[in-house]
Each structure stands twice: as structure tokens, then as C-alpha cells.
Amino acid sequence: MAISSSPSGIVNNTLRPPVPSFCDTEWRMLMEQCWAPDPPIRPSFTEIARRLRTMAAACPTRPHAHPAK
């Protein structure tokens, strides 16, 4: 994102962070849908929460590290 694009991006509400290339397709789609310029097209909070729960459940879990005593 170039500094020169910031003022117009802020004014037009189109300034978005870059999505990393390694980002999963479902996560990318959800982010982009949330950024839709037309609010009625954006997913509802209930839909966002449902999709995040589904995506989180599909992620492999990592063993939690226990602090040394």
C-alpha cells in the first residue's frame, strides 16, 4: 500500500491492508466480503461469527505449551 494512495483511500473508504499470499481462501473471501463498499452486501455479525467458528474448527490444533515451573 503506497503512502500516496492513503488520502484518497481514506476519503473513499477503500483503504485496505494487503492480504498475505499464504492466507486461506475462505479467510480471504470473508475479509473481502466484510470490506464490500455496499453495506447490505456485507455479511451480518451472526454470519461472520458462524463462519469464523466453522473456519476455526477446521484449523489443526497445536499443543499448548506449558510454562516451566
Distance from C-alpha of 39 to C-alpha of 5, rounded to nearest angstrom? 23
Question: Is residue 49 a part of any domain in this protein?
Answer: yes
Q: How many domains does the chain have?
A: 1
pLDDT of residue 5: 54
Calculate mean pLDDT across residues 5-20. Answer: 67
Higher-pLDDT residue of 60, 2: 60
Residue 16: count of CB within 10 angstroms of its CB: 12
Distance from C-alpha of 69 to C-alpha of 57, rounded to nearest angstrom? 31
Place 11 in a pLDDT band, splitting at 50, 70 and 90: very low
Calculate mean pLDDT across residues 19-47. Answer: 92
Question: Is residue 1 a part of any domain in this protein?
Answer: no
Question: Is residue 17 a part of any domain in this protein?
Answer: no
CB 43 within 8 A of CB 36: no
Higher-pLDDT residue of 14, 30: 30
